[in-house]
Amino acid sequence: MRSLASLTSLLAIATAGLIGLPSVAAADTFRFTAIPDEDESRLVERFSKVADYLSDTLEVDVEYVPVKSYGAAVTAFRNDQVQLAWFGGLSGVQARRLVPGSQALAQGVEDAAFETYFLAHASTGLEPADTLPDSIEGKTFTFGAKTSTSGRLMPEHYLRERFDAAPEELFTRVGFSGDHSRTIALVEAGTYDIGAVNFKVWDAALANGDVDTDKVDVIWSTPSYPDYQWTLRGDADETFGAGFTDRVRQALLSMDDPELLESFPRSGFIPADNDMYAPIESVAENLGLLR
């Protein structure tokens, strides 16, 4: 019966604990997240530095919140667990639809004209070309994350445009690797014959010497489309004071430390607005990824 008594006292403590604990989210810390599009070690390194920079510039406590999936980034934004996020084209559209009043503040210089590279394993014998060859039919194929713009939405769009068929009809197997680093690794290992990858992640991996180009190389690149952007919640001014939105935008646009920018990797940030992403929105609606 002694255990019963201890159980009862535990319950009392639990109740007291649940009521008495301060809510962490109540403190006025400015939090941001980013879609997990690459190896996590890179993401944490990248965004901890950005948090320091924003904290110095905005004179508020800034914290980076890591997440496991694109969906979780959008959910954190929707639940006000983060107020700012580095989204992809599609995840940004999803987030701004869920949180009315939120706006795209800035995009990378490269995001105005972003591209997807199609990679192929050497054993396929596929060569770089101006259009995707018919011989990719019957191969295996991997996208990146399910709601990635450069890893899923746009490559699927251009595949359908070129072959007038769904990827599942075109390839013998279609997979989702989860992120761009993993897509490169899977095609390099030959698990999939072909993969679609964010061109900036590929370029960075190549520059770092992380890729064996005897095993995997680019065979085609898509036409350009708008992609990544910083999106801020509409109620940021209410929480952090009038003019906060403009200060955040200014802080992002004036980020010029090569070390910070290189880790994105972008050469700088330029202004963006919600309307720039209308093409992404309509492509996503056509593919049934948005409704």
Query: Which residues in this chain contact another protein in the complex, by CB under 8 A?
Result: 1, 3-4, 6, 9-11, 13-14, 17, 21-26, 39-41, 65, 67-72, 74-76, 78-81, 94, 98, 140, 145-147, 173, 175-176, 178, 181-182, 185, 189-192, 289-291
Contacts of 280 (CB under 8 A, 6+ apart): 89, 90, 93, 149, 153, 225, 226
Check: CB of residue 107 under 8 Å from CB of residue 267: no
In the complex, minimum distance from the CB of residue 181 to another protein, in angstroms, rounded to a whole number? 7
Least spacing, CB of residue 131 vs another protein, in Å: 27
Closest approach of another protein to the CB of residue 49, in Å: 16
Sole residue written with tokens 């060569």:
127
Side chain identity at residue 115, one-letter code: E
* Cβ-contact 180, 144 below 8 angstroms: yes
Closer to another protein by Cβ: residue 192 or 269: 192
**Cα torsion through 152, 202, 220, 36, rounded to 10:** 0
> If you search the block for the tokens 């972003």, which residue do you land on?
114
Whose Cβ is closer to another protein: residue 65's or residue 270's?
A: 65
Cβ atoms of 89 and 284 closer than 8 Å: no
How far apart are CB 275 and another protein at their closest, in Å?
Answer: 21
Distance in Å, CB of 253 to another protein, minimum: 29
Task: Say how far apart CA 261 and CA 270 lie, in whole Å.
Answer: 12
Residue placing its CB nearer to another protein in the complex, 78 or 162: 78
Nearer CB in complex with another protein: 172/254: 172
Closest to another protein by CB, 14 or 129: 14
